[in-house]
Chains A and B, each alone.
Chain A
């Protein structure tokens, strides 16, 4: 019983992080219809930036979230405006390959700069933990989960209530109609990408404080994001949250009860199964109603 509770709790924490790491990918997919295969790179960029900031300034890694998000916002805007926009209007495979190419280049660059070794960010409270009934929770994991949920809610509120969110939703639903209403679509695409990159960076920080990371992980994070989006549904923070929690639970349960080597196998079986039964994800496409 204790084991089940503990496994479920671990799964939920992991799921919250998967959700945060995937939400940017989901937004880009929903609005630009681009599969951003360099998403994992953006996540890792956040992690490395936080490592640099927190070591240089001796501050808590979670306090690095705003500056890191700001940096990645700019990176994302420029990346979309100068590179991806050129491939967006062509076949979807093209933009996928473009982002894959960028991912390869940046991964190689990261290996040069940061070495291929595993790194991790250690906050001051790394070794405190608290007990909640039978369940053991580290302070680190708890704060990671809290940060994920808060950031996801912020993004949901941004999309739902702010003028920027309204324009993004409009563009995703009817690009042509939005353009006719005076929306600068390219600018909105770039802003969407920038917001997504910023959230990817924030996810990187949260990942960095609970798991070790290296430049080789980028593929895994991109794939996770894809699975989460397919499970939960495209475009919405809620979809990402559902998909992320599901993925987290499935992978910890598999690792606990089937074998530590099998999470990826169950993950992909689940993915293929869901693609077949419910191709739009559990919550469907957030921008679908008018398409």
Chain B
């Protein structure tokens, strides 16, 4: 990774300007697809802090989307008097905070598990959260929760949420970048490579893992809160989705596991393929996702970034 950092920065800045201006010239359908791309990219990045860097592949991050969304909805339901623009920050704070607390609580037992056991235990967490939300009346999971409209009156809500997703995804990208550059990030990488050795060499693996888990959960929660607002009405099934659990892994796998831009590339590609190319073939959706997964694992275990690197390696 000895590419020019200034060049990368300029490229990212240019991409952001183009993306931010997107709604001005894109037709409504593509604004919607763009929303989904940015949402997925943000989630993928948040997931990758734990899954890509530390190698703790979680199969249940939808738990934090759901917890964030439902906490925000319940809190905002109590504060109907507030102006709409204040509601979102309050909801974000409550949702992300609750995700953070939940993650901190379950981190201690669950991070003792490794590999597939961790993955499946997280799937269990996601299912338990979903069932509790659905069956305990207080959470209103089966009836559904309404969210107040928060877009400013002069602006098309679709465009507003597009920009909001863009901002959130950028925020998460920035945090991922900072994490990667820090001692903390290096520690996470060492956990991925060999946890026992890292621990022996004095890396505080337990603390780092827990921190990465909580950070990843909080950022996922932020995305969940925005997602809930953009839907306007959520039930248990619309936020605790098993296909989200799976997609988050696929984004990193497709883009390149453990790379900074991998999840973004993966999310953009997969959303484009499933929404635009296969958008009309809904019956074919599961099949196509499965096929992508199989081909990926067999043909390109390093993802797009891995392929690029390999190409470069052979050319040089």
Label chain A's interface by main secondary structure.
Answer: helix
Closest to A269 in B: B128
A104 touches B290 (CB 8 A): yes
CA distance A105 to B253 in the complex (A): 18
> Which residues of B from 34 to 72 have beta carbons under 8 Å from A?
57
**Residues of chain A lying within 8 A (CB to CB) of residue B231:** none
A96 touches B119 (CB 8 A): yes
Q: Is A167 an interface residue (CB 8 A)?
A: no
Once A and B bind, how many residue pairs between them come within 8 Å at the CB atom?
103
B292 touches A268 (CB 8 A): no
A275 touches B115 (CB 8 A): no
Give the interface size bracket for B toward A.
35 or more
User: Which one of A118-126, A181-189, A204-212, A256-264 contacts B?
Assistant: A256-264
Label chain B's interface by main secondary structure.
Answer: helix
**Residues of chain A lying within 8 A (CB to CB) of residue B246:** 100
Most chain A beta-carbon contacts within 10 A, residue among B113, B115, B124: B124
B135 touches A102 (CB 8 A): no
A272 touches B121 (CB 8 A): yes
**Residues of chain B lying within 8 A (CB to CB) of residue A226:** 120
A101 touches B292 (CB 8 A): yes
User: A92-B115, A101-B292, A104-B286 in contact; A271/B124 too (CB < 8 A)?
Assistant: yes
Q: Is A179 an interface residue (CB 8 A)?
A: no
CA distance A223 to B134 in the complex (A): 20
Closest to B134 in A: A261
Closest to A276 in B: B109
B121 touches A271 (CB 8 A): yes
User: A94-B297, A101-B291, A272-B124 in contact; A108/B286 too (CB < 8 A)?
Assistant: yes
A285: min CB distance to chain B, Å: 13
Partner of A219, one of B113, B242, B250, B253: B242
> Which residues of B from 262 to 316 have beta carbons under 8 Å from A?
283-287, 289-294, 296-298, 301
**Residues of chain B lying within 8 A (CB to CB) of residue A101:** 289-294, 296-297
A-B contact pairs, 24 of them (CB 8 A): A83-B298, A92-B115, A93-B57, A93-B115, A93-B119, A93-B249, A96-B116, A97-B296, A98-B298, A100-B246, A100-B293, A101-B289, A101-B293, A104-B289, A104-B290, A105-B290, A107-B286, A264-B127, A265-B128, A265-B131, A265-B132, A271-B124, A272-B124, A275-B113
A91-B301, A268-B128 given; name 9 further pairs at CB < 8 Å.
A83-B294, A86-B298, A93-B57, A96-B116, A101-B290, A105-B287, A261-B134, A269-B128, A272-B124
Question: CB within 8 Å of B: which residues of A?
Answer: 35, 83, 86-87, 90-98, 100-109, 111-112, 219, 223, 226, 230, 259, 261-262, 264-265, 268-269, 271-272, 275-276, 279
